[in-house]
Structure 1
Amino acid sequence: MKNEIHHNKMTVINGGHFSDLEGFYEEISTVFMKDTDWKVGTLDGFDDILYSGFGVFENSEKLEIVWKESQKSKEDLGFDLTKEFYENKIRQGKPFNVKLIQGKLDELIEGKGQTLFDILIEIIESHKNITLILE
């Protein structure tokens, strides 16, 4: 009798494929939503995908995400890009909560805030069924 080994589903995000947040969303859209027209375009949208799985995995099914070249992503989605991300939102104003975002920007500049990379990691790790492996 053959031993059935149950593998967790595994998904790979490749940091070599992108260098900014838009590129990250493209990568995620390709990885998670091959057969849909819907594209990720926000942090909330990314979080939503991890809830629903869009057919790549079932909701609450165990999933492993391997983030290749994560060190590159950490730098790409680091301080400079995050600062620009917040500044753009502040410049745009509504519908964004400018006061809240200014606070996040101030924290970032003081060295206490999260970078976009940190935020993405936090979003992934908030899903208990997902294991993140940084390579």
Structure 2
Amino acid sequence: MNNENSNKKMTVINGSHFSNLEGFYEEISQLFMKDEDWKVGTLDGFDDILYGIDSNITWKDSQKSKVDLGFDLTKEFYENKIRIGKPFNVKLIQQKLDELIDGNGQTLFEILIEIIESHENIKLILD
């Protein structure tokens, strides 16, 4: 039996606390950045703060988050960036939107999971 994970810090992302990306960032900021004077507000920012974290993360109500951060919200997320234009790469975002609509793209939920899982000091448990 490998006990290497048993003495890791346990963090809980609670899916019932939010229903959109802004709410997710708020939840993450509460969990990981209590003493900071800035908050997470982008996918890149979320990725950045995870570099300093060595933890088991349980995502409670992950099925709710999967729906909340699913197709509709992701489509809206991309459409907003396209509408804003610069500094966003509209061509790339349009491609991501097309892939999403074709059923091949990732939802925000899947992108967030991928970001978390790319950090080897973090073990993610979907609950």
Question: TM-score, normalised to structure 2's length?
Answer: 0.94
The higher radius of gyration belongs to 1
Q: Map of 1:8-19 to 2, 5 A cutoff?
A: 8-19=8-19
In 2, Cα distance between the equivalents of 1:45 and 1:52?
12
Alpha-carbon displacement from aligned partner over 1:49-92 (angstroms, at most 9, x marks no partner): 00134xxxxxxxx4100000000000000000000000000000
Taking only the aligned residue pairs, the percentage that are identical comes to: 80
Name the counterpart of 2:3: none
Runs (5+) with no aligned partner, structure 1: 1-5, 54-61
Name the counterpart of 2:97: 105
- The residue type equivalent to 2:13 in the other structure is I
Name the counterpart of 1:92: 84
Q: CA RMSD in A?
A: 1.2
Name the counterpart of 1:65: 57
Runs of 4+ that moved beyond 3 A: none
In 2, Cα distance between the equivalents of 1:37 and 1:79?
32
Aligned residue pair count: 123
Structure 2 counterpart of 1:128, from 120, 124, 127: 120
Name the counterpart of 2:52: 52
- The residue type equivalent to 1:8 in the other structure is K
1:36 aligns with 2:36: yes
